[in-house]
Structure 1
Amino acid sequence: MQIRQLPYPDPGVPDARSGPRFLLWLGRNQLGGQAKALAWGVLNFAAIAALPYPVGFAIEAVVDRSGGRLALAGALLLLAGAGIAVGDTMLHRTAVTNWITAAARIQQLLSRRAAELGAGLTRRVAAGEVVAVSTGDVEKIGWFIEALSRFLAAALTIVLVCVGLVLYQPALGAVVAIGLPLVALAVLPLLPPSTRRADIQREKAGRATELASDTVAGLRVLRGIGGEELFLERYRRASQEVRRAAVRSARLWSLIGAVQVMLPGLLMIAVVWYGVALARDGTISVGQLVTVYSTVALLSYPLRHFEEIAMAYSFSRPSAKRAARVLALRRDPVAGVSDAADTGTASTHEPLRGDLYDPDTGLLARSGEFTAVVCGDPDAAGRLAERLGGHAPDSAELPSVLLGGVALDGLEVTAARTAVLVQDKDPVLLSGTLSELLDVPASGQVGPLVALDAARCEDVLAALAQASVGVNGDPLRTRITERGRSLSGGQRQRLALARSLVADPEVLVLDEPTSAVDSHTEARIADGLGGLRRGRTTVVLTSSPLLLDRADRVVLLHKGAVVAAGTHRRLVESEPLYRAVVTRETDEEAAAREQVTRAEPSSAPWDGNGSTGASARTAGADGPADVEGPPDTATAELDEIEERA
């Protein structure tokens, strides 16, 4: 793989069972690049190690006054120099290519996993950890992949040199062959503590990054409550912890570096001392002594790669562990699901239609209707929205949401998102022009201006146009700052809603889409939403009476299960729990209302859309007033109840 061929057509399915397994998987996927780097590395290091031989040969030629042998020594020096130049250049080229291609592979895998999980990613992994993995961790993993081939080349070169020295001069060569492995392996006892310190440093750095990310994201709120100094002091403390951990780690690595300098020096002293004794006895010549000494001196360069690979692995192992943890997240934990979601393969299925049914809660959203869901717990509402979008549930034992009888968890990502679109309660606006914001995969039946009108974005367009220069009155050319920070919360919500309306999915799930707008605008949005989505399935998780009153059907969830369903007005009259959630009714108001109800006997007939007060009271603890079933039975049960009423 060459850099110009990036991105990968298919980055593959990673082995995310652990950090070392992920590193091994990356190495196996770059065997070709690693082999090239190994070959060029051996050429480079071998040429460096071979330099002393023509030098010693030249010394002996001068002593013997042999011009021919001196010329041959010069030719060998030129050949070794050429090998060093070519080998070093190509080694650097291939090693950097391995680094960049490995980092690109990881980035593609992380991007696809983030796109697959959507808003559910930050519910499972902290946003700061995702940032740390996609930036610093990717670089450190790429560093290890790049350093691995150079380390292997250095190790192979040292073995070859030791063998060559033993054959060239057995007495001195044996000393070098014994001493070099000891020098290379001397740092092994220091590696476990250095790895632990590196892990602690990376963990503290990840927490500091997460804290910084959260602080920046909530800067407007912090300024509103005067909390900037508080969070700044917290970040200072976190930063100092990272500094102290880095200093402790650096001390141990400096000790490893000192050992790597000291031991080769001691080996050279031993070689010189023993070699001088052999030269005095006439066992070896001066040229042979210079050759062996120079070889040992030059081998200090390949030996440094032993320290580098140890450091690279120590820093990349926790990074690989974090990356594997993110890549191990799945939206399709059910058995028998195709791996197409990992490869991004487009779906070949026809667009799904039909009722949306959640077996876990009993929620049924009928096809083509505007269904509102009232849930007193905002966190539970967020988890329900994630499930309705086909994302993996918190437990693999939970049943999958069904659309038209088809399990969403078992669909490819493209098919699931074509059918169901979930807008989170805190949608993100990307920087760029408004036209770019609304340029999303869509059915083509809803234009941007129509969607902006339905989301009641007139004042938003006016504010953007006023702040933009050179748009010539075209609101779609106005620019939005990063994450829409120059806009109010309500303006961001409306633009995000317009983006969802442009997509025009078969099923649109909105989690509190109007929580930050005023009641007048909310009523207009409810009218626009109902008109534009007529004939399409729309599910809105909200407790706003304005939205609930315009819904075709309202469903009340309590403790993770449907307890009642009907129109908003009927449920307000007949369901105390619903009334308490929607109207914020106090206990005193509820008691007074109950007294009035007892004083005025009435019958609450079934209106065809929900439960009566009598049915709700009859259910009691035995079950919900309006029990919903799967798509093939729920409608029949409701019709039967209506006939009895």
Structure 2
Amino acid sequence: MRSGNPSGRDVLTRSVRGQARRVGLGAALGCVHQLGEALVPVLIGVVIDEAVAGQDARRLALWLAVLAVMYVALSWSFRVGARAGERGAEEAAHTLRLAIVRRVLDARGGAEEGRLPGELANVATEDAKRVGAVNMALMRGTWAVAGITVSAVWLLLTSVPLGLIVLVGTPVLLWLGHLLSKPLERRSEAEQDRAAHASGVAADLVAGLRVLKGLGAQQAAVERYRRTSRASLAATLRAARAESWQTGLVLALTGGFIALIALVGGRLALDGRLTLGQLVSAVGLALFLLGPLETFAWVNAELAQGRASAARVAEVLAARPAVVGGRSPVPDPVRGELRLRGVPLGGPDGVDLHVPAGRLTGIAVTDPASAEALLRCLGRESDPESGSVELDGVPLTRLDPAGLRAAVLVAAHDAVLFDGSLAANVTPQAESPSGPAAGEPDGAADPRTERAMAAAHADEVARSLPRGAATGVGEGGRSLSGGQRQRVLLARALRAGPPVLVVHDPTTAVDAVTEARIAEGLREIRRGRTTVVVTNSPALLAVADRVVLLDGGRIGAEGTHAELVRAHETYRTAVLA
């Protein structure tokens, strides 16, 4: 799936083209199956005229053997063709899911803007599945066309009126089915929107369950989800009603069409223009046509839902990036000097800030919004409205975002742990299928990991767990306390060992003694590399080589922690209060 601004039609087209070989094979084998199905009533009519009416036992046995071979062929072709079609549908959905995940994880960001995580998950699962199913629908539609074509040709050869009824009536039925699918398409899109929103709200509430319980806001949360769920249910019911009306009307039209064929065939037989065998074949073909025509109704519904889902997928794939530009490689080697020039951080003026390479710099704030703005700029989650941010003298806007992420790691205080072992959260690539990382019984991995865990005092967390670092932490680390989660998150950032590390409030949930030890461990393990600690923690600021106070979106003071505590009242209030 190429980048750019794909439309829903583009998504559908590429999904089908990507599986053209499998869909083509399935369609070809399905046409063989439909040919056999259509010929069964024809052969039965021949048997009646040539063997039964003539009381010829040998010819009867011969034609029964032909029928048996026909059944074997159509059964085999159906199984193999259906398998190819299903494989194509699943592969298309899988490819689309990968494209959505790549877009969500793109270093330029933007796909998650205005969408809850549950909504994105719904697009990557349900919508991708519906788009993939279009391949199966097109294959089955081809089968139906083949079956109707064979039936029409035989009926034309047998009786021109019967053949004309099929040739003229089938396109009319298809056109009516397409018109009837339009309301379903609109309501299916609304249904998926509401369902995705409900999934997002549910995931959001589950993630914040502890906070909700602490605030006593469970009832408000339940009421919020109830309203969202009811809206989703209403949209689903509207879509179901539209689908039932569409299917029912198409089936009614199809039944009338089949009845017309049978009626005309019966009149022709009474007039002597059709033999008994030909009448049986005509009636059998009329009944056979129910299958292809019902398939067309199903295909119309699948295409309507697929178009609606493709439009939603296209919205994610075409989401505007949060940051643009940047193709230059990151300086090699990265010295780690950061500089802000005239960057607004929530104040009336731009901030000029210099972070020396290879030093531990502490940044204290009087307004949390200033910290958030600084972190977004340093991580290039968004570009400042004015001014510039530089790494080793090169503006971040000129650097490749993916390379920049590897060089400058911003470890936010609200980062999450993944469902897995503690060791896998510190060193994800070390997780083995059996559980422990790097093959160790307690999950301990290489010396680099051990140093990171010791510096963050996450090794104490591991020792307190039943299976050490191999113990699962649960989704979001819910089996750990707040302080334990913070230590594991800090260990993960330290284990990554980027040239520039920016951490935000890494110790707000740990006790003072542990915080002091973590501060010393952080200073030691990051010695000689650029580290920025955005925090008001005295223990962390005390080990910094230099401290900057951001006061009201501007630099209020600079110096060591001890100097600022002695000489700057605003700093003392922010840090020691």
Same fold (TM over 0.5): yes
CA gap 1:89/1:138 in 2 versus in 1, 3 angstroms: same
What aligned pairs does 1:106-117 form with structure 2 within 5 A after superposition?
106-117=96-107
1:432 pairs, out of 420, 428, 446, with 420
Letter in 1 for 2:484: Q
Q: Please give the per-residue CA displacement for 1:281-308, whole angstroms capped at 9, x wherever unaligned.
A: 2222222222222212112212223222
1:403 equivalent in alignment to 2:401: no
1:227 equivalent in alignment to 2:225: no
CA gap 1:315/1:518 in 2 versus in 1, 3 angstroms: farther
Q: Please give the per-residue CA displacement for 1:224-243, whole angstroms capped at 9, x wherever unaligned.
A: 22322332233233323322
The alignment partner of 1:364 has SS state of strand
The alignment partner of 2:363 has SS state of strand
**How many angstroms apart in 1 are the aligned matches of 2:494 and 2:292?**
61
The alignment partner of 1:487 has SS state of coil
Structure 2 match to 1:534? 527
In the superposition, the TM-score normalised over structure 2's length comes to 0.85
What aligned pairs does 1:480-629 form with structure 2 within 5 A after superposition?
480-557=473-550, 565-568=558-561, 581-582=574-575
CA gap 1:88/1:461 in 2 versus in 1, 3 angstroms: same
The alignment partner of 1:535 has SS state of coil
Asked if structure 2 preserves the Cα contact closer than 8 Å seen for 1:166 and 1:177, the reply is: no
- More displaced, 118-127 or 447-456? 118-127
**How many angstroms apart in 1 are the aligned matches of 2:421 and 2:29?**
48
Structure 2 match to 1:420? 408
1:25 equivalent in alignment to 2:14: yes
Asked if structure 2 preserves the Cα contact closer than 8 Å seen for 1:197 and 1:249, the reply is: yes
Q: Please give the per-residue CA displacement for 1:9-40, whole angstroms capped at 9, x wherever unaligned.
A: xxx53565333322222222222222122212
CA gap 1:284/1:357 in 2 versus in 1, 3 angstroms: farther
User: C-alpha displacement at 1:564, in angstroms?
Assistant: 5.6
**How many angstroms apart in 1 are the aligned matches of 2:370 and 2:137?**
47
User: C-alpha displacement at 1:394, in angstroms?
Assistant: 6.0
Relative contact order, CA 8 A, sep 6+: which one is greater?
2
Structure 2 match to 1:601? none
**How many angstroms apart in 1 are the aligned matches of 2:3 and 2:69?**
44
What aligned pairs does 1:246-257 form with structure 2 within 5 A after superposition?
246-257=236-247
**How many angstroms apart in 2 are the aligned matches of 1:454 and 1:306?**
65
**How many angstroms apart in 1 are the aligned matches of 2:331 and 2:23?**
40
Report how many aligned residue pairs link the two structures: 554
Letter in 1 for 2:131: I
Q: Please give the per-residue CA displacement for 1:373-416, whole angstroms capped at 9, x wherever unaligned.
A: 3445545534542442344x268x87875433445566566633
Letter in 1 for 2:474: T
**How many angstroms apart in 1 are the aligned matches of 2:319 and 2:342?**
21
Structure 1 match to 2:75? 85
CA gap 1:31/1:381 in 2 versus in 1, 3 angstroms: farther
CA gap 1:334/1:481 in 2 versus in 1, 3 angstroms: closer
Structure 2 match to 1:355? 337
**How many angstroms apart in 1 are the aligned matches of 2:113 and 2:529?**
29
Asked if structure 2 preserves the Cα contact closer than 8 Å seen for 1:331 and 1:390, the reply is: no
The alignment partner of 1:432 has SS state of coil
Asked if structure 1 preserves the Cα contact closer than 8 Å seen for 2:30 and 2:78, the reply is: yes
Structure 2: stretches of 5+ with no match in the other structure: 344-351, 431-444
User: C-alpha displacement at 1:89, in angstroms?
Assistant: 0.3
User: C-alpha displacement at 1:101, in angstroms?
Assistant: 0.9
Letter in 1 for 2:28: A
Asked if structure 2 preserves the Cα contact closer than 8 Å seen for 1:120 and 1:386, the reply is: no
Asked if structure 2 preserves the Cα contact closer than 8 Å seen for 1:385 and 1:422, the reply is: yes
Q: Please give the per-residue CA displacement for 1:145-167, whole angstroms capped at 9, x wherever unaligned.
A: 33222223323443453344323
Structure 1: stretches of 5+ with no match in the other structure: 1-11, 339-346, 585-645
RMSD over aligned CA atoms reads 3.3
**How many angstroms apart in 2 are the aligned matches of 1:107 and 1:541?**
37
Q: Percent identity?
A: 36
- More displaced, 64-73 or 46-55? 64-73
Asked if structure 2 preserves the Cα contact closer than 8 Å seen for 1:119 and 1:424, the reply is: no
User: C-alpha displacement at 1:496, in angstroms?
Assistant: 0.7
CA gap 1:497/1:46 in 2 versus in 1, 3 angstroms: same
- More displaced, 425-434 or 505-514? 425-434
Asked if structure 2 preserves the Cα contact closer than 8 Å seen for 1:420 and 1:508, the reply is: yes
Letter in 2 for 1:135: T
Structure 1 match to 2:49? 60
**How many angstroms apart in 1 are the aligned matches of 2:521 and 2:118?**
37
Q: Please give the per-residue CA displacement for 1:591-617, whole angstroms capped at 9, x wherever unaligned.
A: xxxxxxxxxxxxxxxxxxxxxxxxxxx
Structure 2 match to 1:236? 226
**How many angstroms apart in 1 are the aligned matches of 2:546 and 2:282?**
89
Structure 2 match to 1:334? 324
Structure 2 match to 1:295? 285
1:205 equivalent in alignment to 2:195: yes
**How many angstroms apart in 2 are the aligned matches of 1:19 and 1:363?**
45
Letter in 2 for 1:106: L
Structure 2 match to 1:599? none
Structure 2 match to 1:461? 462
- More displaced, 229-238 or 192-201? 229-238
Asked if structure 1 preserves the Cα contact closer than 8 Å seen for 2:269 and 2:279, the reply is: yes
Asked if structure 1 preserves the Cα contact closer than 8 Å seen for 2:108 and 2:322, the reply is: no
CA gap 1:163/1:431 in 2 versus in 1, 3 angstroms: same
Structure 2 match to 1:322? 312
Structure 1 match to 2:439? none
Asked if structure 1 preserves the Cα contact closer than 8 Å seen for 2:326 and 2:397, the reply is: no
Q: Please give the per-residue CA displacement for 1:540-561, whole angstroms capped at 9, x wherever unaligned.
A: 2223333233322334446766
The alignment partner of 1:373 has SS state of strand
Letter in 1 for 2:71: G
Letter in 2 for 1:190: L
- More displaced, 324-333 or 168-177? 324-333
User: C-alpha displacement at 1:336, in angstroms?
Assistant: 6.9
1:142 equivalent in alignment to 2:124: no
Q: Please give the per-residue CA displacement for 1:307-334, whole angstroms capped at 9, x wherever unaligned.
A: 2233223333343333333333576853
In the superposition, the TM-score normalised over structure 1's length comes to 0.77
CA gap 1:369/1:120 in 2 versus in 1, 3 angstroms: farther
